[in-house]
Amino acid sequence: MLLSYRDALNQAMREEMRRDSRIVLIGEEVGYYQGAFKVTKGFVEEFGPHRVVDTPITEAGFTGLAIGAAVAGLRPIVELMTMNFGIVALDQIVNNAAKIRYMSGGQLSVPLVIRGPGSAAHQLGAQHSQSLEAWFCHVPGLKVVAPSTPHDAKGLLKSAIRDQNPVVFIEAQLLYGTKGEVAEGEYTIPLGRADVKRAGTDVTVVAYSKMLLVALEAAERLRQDGLDVEVIDPRTLKPLDLESIVTSVKKTGRMVIVEEGWRFCGLGAQIADSVYAAAFDYLDAPIVRVTGEDVPMPYSRPLEDAAIPDVPRVVAAIHSLCGVA
């Protein structure tokens, strides 16, 4: 069935909340407002305010509360209105959610999902446009998921909710309205498995979340130039499915990584490092990264456009890598 990314997330949580009464949804405006981006539309009506809990604007407090509730055996889903606000809750996420299992020698666990939109939308300014996945991926003890399609969003969110670990689940405001085929009925997609979104033989492009759509469009344009581009979506950023990426690189010998986040210490640097270590001999040329610019996101449209990877830049990167003028 054709479903929007937003509705796919809504279905995932609705199905899971119906089957498991330990799941509670906590966040700003998740209840009566129906979610800042309407992802939780209809939830408070179906599940009641004791399970769909509107919070004050205190991300550290309610994220910490959710972690404590998870330790006590609930399975909370925290909705951050945007991932930017995760910075306010970073102490809780990094010092508590990610470490409680380890510090306790395995006595405690934190089955928790922290979800919300990351990355830029349209002209939201420097504090509401950040791609922080590299921050979360850097921390041992967290899983990080960033789906690009409605089908993946649903299946991965269901797996994240059932996972015994804290999972940071990064959506994108500009993806909420996108539509795609979603399988009928009950299904999950395991965390830690990449998906080949477009098979090809000449070059491997790794992209996730919103950038996956950019990569696919670039691949389509390059078809006219006779280039056969393989596009892989890791879907789960940590643990990363390196094997699938390496399999593709061994076939194509060339690789481009597209990410919206800042270049320096970005996720692509880690992916490149891992691929170099695993498949250096198979590479015909150095790995190319197309990234966001190292600037706070500007407001003005032309400046914002200049800060984010787009189709022409991905096309140009692949052209140069493959020696096409």
Partner 1 sequence: MTDMDEHDLRSLYRQMLLIRRFEEKSAEMYALAKIAGFLHLYIGEEAIAVGAVAALRPDDYVISAYRDHGHCLARGSDPGRVMAELFGKATGLCQGKGGSMHLVDLANRFMGGYAIVGGHIPLATGLAFATKYRKQDLVTVCFFGEGAVPSGQAHEAFNLAALWKLPVIFICENNRYGMGTPVARAVALYDNVAEAARSYGIMAERVDGMDVLAVRELMRTVVDQVRAGHGPFFIEAMTYRFMGHSMADPSHGHYRSKDEVEEHRKRDPLVLLKHQMLSQALCSEGDFKSLEQEVGEVVAAAVKFADESPFPDPSSLHADVMVEE
Residues found near partner 1 in the complex (CB under 8 A): 24, 50, 55-56, 58, 60-74, 91-92, 95-96, 100-109, 111, 140-141, 143, 163-165
Of the pair 64, 261, the CB lying nearest partner 1 is at: 64
Other beta carbons less than 10 A from residue 173's beta carbon: 21
Q: Give the phi and the psi of residue 156 in degrees, each rounded to 5.
A: -75, -35
Give the shortest CB-65-to-partner 1 separation in angstroms: 4
Of the pair 191, 206, the CB lying nearest partner 1 is at: 191
Residues marked as catalytic:
59, 128
Of the pair 93, 257, the CB lying nearest partner 1 is at: 93
- Residue 225: exposure state from Cβ atoms within 10 A (0-12, 13-18, ≥19): middle
Closest CA to 35 of 13, 2, 66: 13
Of the pair 33, 102, the CB lying nearest partner 1 is at: 102
How many whole angstroms separate alpha carbon 109 and alpha carbon 68? 10
Structure tokens at 230: 């393989």
Give the shortest CB-101-to-partner 1 separation in angstroms: 6
Element (H, E) at 262: strand 255-262
Give the shortest CB-68-to-partner 1 separation in angstroms: 2
How many whole angstroms separate alpha carbon 36 and alpha carbon 217? 29
Is 238 strand, coil or helix? strand
Beta bridge partners of 179: 4
Give the shortest CB-245-to-partner 1 separation in angstroms: 21
